[in-house]
Structure formats: structure tokens, C-alpha cells
Amino acid sequence: MKDKNTAIDGIDKIILTHLMEDARTPILSIARKIGISGAAVHQRLRKLEASGLISGSKLVINPKVLGYKTLAFVGVFLDAASKYSAAIKRMKEVPEIIESHYTTGNYAIFIKILCRDNEHLMSLLNQEIQSIKGVARTETFISLDQHIDRQINV
């Protein structure tokens, strides 16, 4: 966030809540519910974007429809901390890796991977991730189900 002290009021919270629930909600629909003009909603959104509070919007697809049914988290151990940048650069080339985090604790890197099935996951681990220079070993956790997927409340 650009401005750590961005102040949002009740109207901003209502606008954000509607758009967080469905980013395709028409601005005029939100404006009518609040009782202000569509232009006022647009101005508030521009202010929130400029402050860095809103960092973007995206279309969310269901990976299962595309055949990606296995979600895994992988803790990556590096043989040296100095290998972090090179390892991340190589991981960015693996499309199934959808998130990475530089972490404290046991792992240097914690990644989130989407795969078609367990065989695809095993192949990715053996052929792609564990072959990256600097990766000493990995520890894998397969997600069986997800019950919470949300953003922070405003």
C-alpha cells in the first residue's frame, strides 16, 4: 500500500464490500444502493486505487474445470540462502506454480502448485522443482479440501 494511513469511511467500506463480493457489480447499482451518484463512486474508487488500497481486480477461474484437480503446498529447502533469487527465477518458468513465499522457519520457499493429478505432481517435483540448482529437498502437502477463501474485512 502506498499510503499506510489511508482513511476509509463507511461509504468506501460499502463500495469495497460490494466489489469484493463481485467485482463485476455495476457501479451504478452500488451508487443507487448507497444513494450517491455513479461519478462519486468512480471518484472514490480512483482515490482508493491511488492510495494503493485497491491493488487490482481479476477474473477467477475454476481450475478443476480445466482438469487441475490436485492442489499442493511444497516447502522448499535450499542448500544456501544465496540461491534464493536464482531458484525463484527458475520457478517462475513453471506454470503450475501459482504462488511462492519467502518464509521463516524450516523452508526457505513455500510454494502453491496446481496439478492435474498426483502423477502430474510427482513429475513436477522430480523433473522440475527438485532439479532446480540450489534446491536441496522438498516437503509436500496435498490439500484435501478448502473451506475458507476470503480477503481481509474492510
Q: What is the CATH number of the domain that holds 20?
A: 1.10.10.10
Q: Are both 76 and 40 inside the same structural domain?
A: no
**Residue 57 confidence (pLDDT):** 87
Distance CA 34, CA 86 (A): 50
Q: Are both 46 and 86 inside the same structural domain?
A: no
**Residue 1 confidence (pLDDT):** 40
Q: Residue 111 class from Cβ within 10 Å (0-12 exposed, 13-18 middle, 19+ buried)?
A: buried
Assigned domain for 154 exists:
no
pLDDT digits (tens, 9 = 90+) for 49-63: 999 999 988 888 999
Q: Are both 77 and 47 inside the same structural domain?
A: no
Distance CA 98, CA 92 (A): 9
How many domains does the chain divide into? 2
Domain assignment of residue 15, given as a range: 10-51
Q: Are both 80 and 113 inside the same structural domain?
A: yes
pLDDT digits (tens, 9 = 90+) for 5-21: 788 999 999 999 999 99
Assigned domain for 152 exists:
no
**pLDDT at residue 143 is higher than 90:** yes
Assigned domain for 153 exists:
no
pLDDT digits (tens, 9 = 90+) for 93-130: 999 999 999 999 999 999 999 999 999 999 999 999 99
pLDDT band at 4 (very low <50, low <70, confident <90, very high): low
**Percentage of residues in the chain having pLDDT higher than 70:** 97
Assigned domain for 56 exists:
no
Q: Are both 70 and 124 inside the same structural domain?
A: yes
Assigned domain for 3 exists:
no
